[in-house]
Structure 1
Amino acid sequence: MRTYLIDADKNEVIVDLTRTKKHSSELVEFEYSTIEDNKITNRQIIFVRRLAGQYFVSKDNKSWKKIPRQDLPKKMLNVDRVFDVYRGYKPSGLAGGNEGELITQMPGKIVKISVKEGDEVKKGQTLVIIEAMKMENEIKCGMDGFVKSIHVNVGDALDQGVLMMEVEA
């Protein structure tokens, strides 16, 4: 699953969970990469083990460190920057297009379009669902407004950077 970390200046770090392997009911292996400026900056494998209701993490599957149970955060602090966290999607307006444009961030197939032209939409409302990397990703609206135009259909296979929909304030 792709996670976007975006700061107030719209600088972003992308984290891709590229592989999950379940070794047993207590042990799961995760492989992920971080991407900055379209280049992989870090690739890592971590192991997470659950024992007696507690969680432990390891980078080598030998030495373990206890971690607290994690709730999914909406913000993350990294040294001197605060990031907003978006899982599986990046709201429109943060993709290099205008705020009312929904542009694909990765290749995928349109599974569902939840609105039609002329519909009133609210910020955070799911507009389109795209299947990418065998996962369904909700594309959410970045502003309140009306659907101006829809440029895709259910079943369309899209490349990265395709304008799917326009929303007008």
Structure 2
Amino acid sequence: MRTYLIDDDKNEVIVDLTRTKVHSSELVEFDYSTIEDNKLIDKKTIFVRQLCGQYFVSENNKKWSKISRQDLPSRMLNVDRVFKVYRGYKPSGLSGGNEGELLTQMPGKIVKINTQVGDTVEPGQTLIILEAMKMENEIKCGVAGTVKAVHVKEGDALDQGVLMIEIESN
């Protein structure tokens, strides 16, 4: 799953969860990559273990550190920056287009379109399913409004930066 971390200056860090392996009911292994400015910054494997209701994390499955349970935060602090956290999508106003435009963030194929011209949409509503990097990504609306135009159809193969949907804000 792709997660976008975006600060107030619209700088972003992208975290891609690429593999999850369940070893047991207490131990899960995660592979993830960190991307910043379209460059692969880091690729890591971490292990998360639950023991007696507590959570522990390790990079080598030998030395463990206790962590607090996470309840899917919407903001995250990293040294000197506060990031807003978006799981699986980046709202349209943060994608390089205007506030009511949905642009592709990566090359992919349109699997499903969940809206049509004239529909009323709300922030967070899934408008398109885009298959990219062997994963189905939900493209969600970032503003409340009305769908003004749909520029793609199911089955279309798209490059990065293609305008898919225009939304007129309320």
Normalising by structure 1, we get a TM-score of 0.91
Give the residue type in structure 2 aligned to 1:141. C
Q: Deviations over 1:63-118 (max 9, x none)?
A: 11122221101011112211110011101021111111101112333232121112
Tell me if 1:127 matches 2:127. Answer: yes
| Aligned residue pairs, count | 169
Distance 1:43 1:92 in 2: 27
Distance 2:140 2:60 in 1: 37
Give the residue type in structure 2 aligned to 1:93. G
Matched residue, 2:79: 79
For residue 93 of structure 1, give the secondary structure of its aligned residue in structure 2: helix
Matched residue, 2:152: 152
Q: Say what the alpha-carbon RMSD is for the aligned residues.
A: 1.6
Q: Tell which deviates more after alignment, 30-39 or 126-135.
A: 126-135
For residue 94 of structure 2, give the secondary structure of its aligned residue in structure 1: coil
Tell me if 1:90 matches 2:81. Answer: no
Matched residue, 1:109: 109
Normalising by structure 2, we get a TM-score of 0.90
Structure 2 stretches of 5 or more lacking a match? none
Structure 1 stretches of 5 or more lacking a match? none
Matched residue, 2:4: 4
Distance 1:101 1:75 in 2: 24
Structure 1 runs, 4 residues or longer, greater than 6 Å off: none
Percent of pairs with identical residues: 76
